[in-house]
Amino acid sequence: MTFHGTFPAGYSSIGTTLAGYKIIKKIGEGTFSEVMKTQSLKDGKFYACKTMKQTINSLEQANNLREVQAMKRLSPHANIIQLHDLIFDKETGTVSLICELMEMNIYEFIQGRETPLPDHTVKNFMYQLCKSLEHMHSCGIFHRDVKPENILIKQNGLKLGDFGSCRSVYSKPPHTEYISTRWYRAPECLLTDGYYSLKMDMWSAGCVFFEIMSLNPLFPGTNELDQVAKIHDVLGTPDQSILQKFKQSRAMHFNFPPKKGTGISRLIPSCPAPALSLLYQMLAYDPDERISAETALRHTYFREIRVAEKKAESLHRLSGTMDGIESSGMPNSLDHIWRPTRLGKQLRGRHTRQTPLMSHNMKHVAEPLIRRNAPHYPTELPKLNMVVPGPQMSFPVSTVPAFTVTHRGTLPTITSKKCQTRLAKPRDESHHAAFKTYYMPPLDRKHGGY
């Protein structure tokens, strides 16, 4: 992968330390960041350290990164990558995110395989992916870049990573940018001027679902128009009423010749009927008809997993009740009523780019997405008001004012640190002029898709 810009001296050197972490080896690199395997000098545990290549001005700005804000809001969750530390180097203006270390991503897992994965493995991974998306969407955030490279695994556990592209579900379209990787980009992203919302994540998840089962991408378009053509080759040309919705939010009219698609079942003839049913619902052309993550979790395809979960929860409740009675004759506090769900296994993350089909200034006439019983969040992720303290000190994020949103569970304690580098270079102020979001670094995939 290509390295862009100058990376801070000393950070990429194996064996050097970074604010309490020893750098072990490089495990990934992309346009906007580099990921190193590190070891905590405090507890000896291993972590993934993602250091941004673009510099910023302050610790407050580091905490206001969209990716950081999203990870804090979404944690803790068994299927969301966890942020452990945030480190800001005032001398060089670099930001490092210390995250849990995972074994590999889904793309690495299936790359080079010649035999399909067992159905129970596919089912387990897709259930956890839908869990992560249901949690994100219920917290008022959609990912915008769901793809195999951003889905991380460790043993049988799966976690979604790379939240640099995420947006609030309540931010008003048109979204001026979309950075979903082309192969996993939903029709509404390809055919409108930024009028899309959380259902685009479900389309992307459907593409991932197919790829895990078949070991090949479903719609590997070479450009935006070819991407649309490949979708129509499989699913057929959509009804004119659906296309009319998209035309209302695009200045340029488009017409597609009527075409009957080959269908997905021909591409994966051995696919079980329940899996095929869910796949078609995730790949509904019309986002209003596309299945939600919450509904997907109740699909027949996942019935066995749901039954197993209920049995496990019952055993936990029974175990908690018995423990309380045995120790004191009475149940321990509320343990017999409620116990947290088991945290899943763990992982690591990556990045992407963009390329809109065209750019026009047509207003969208379609009705905005309305979610029933949805919590109300601000139109964008909340900002933290951090004060940058003096040098050589540690600043716990726990001292930051509480979020103005309702959150599931409590946020983990994440320590923001400022560190000094021995070979700090003077910073070019031009690097601070433009402030952008960042992404986990990608693994270059042949034939693009970006």
Asked whether the beta carbons of 348 and 152 are under 8 A apart, the reply is yes
Give the CA dihedral 278, 280, 286, 291, nearest 10 degrees.
Answer: 0
Instruction: Tell me which of 145, 162, 193, 201 is the catalytic residue.
Output: 145
Q: Residue 198: name the closest of 246, 224, 166, 231 by CA.
A: 166
Cα gap 445→351, rounded to integer Å: 12
What separation in angstroms does the CA of 137 have from each of 46, 81, 143, 283, 342?
30, 16, 9, 18, 21
Q: Residue 219: name the closest of 253, 181, 250, 255 by CA.
A: 181
| Surface-to-core class of residue 378, CB atoms within 10 Å of its CB (0-12 exposed, 13-18 middle, 19+ buried) | middle
**Known binding-site residue numbers for ATP:** 50
> From the CB of residue 316, how many other CB atoms can be counted at a distance below 10 Å?
16
Give me the DSSP letters along 256-279: --------STTTSTT--HHHHHHH
The strand pairing partners of 395, in sequence order, are 416
Cα gap 369→381, rounded to integer Å: 19
Asked whether the beta carbons of 200 and 186 are under 8 A apart, the reply is yes
Half-sphere exposure of 212 (CA within 13 A, CB side): 27
**Known binding-site residue numbers:** 50
Cα gap 337→339, rounded to integer Å: 7
Q: Which residues contact 232 (CB under 8 A, 6 or more apart)?
A: 256, 259, 261
Let me know if 89 is a catalytic residue.
Answer: no
* Catalytic sites, residue numbers: 145
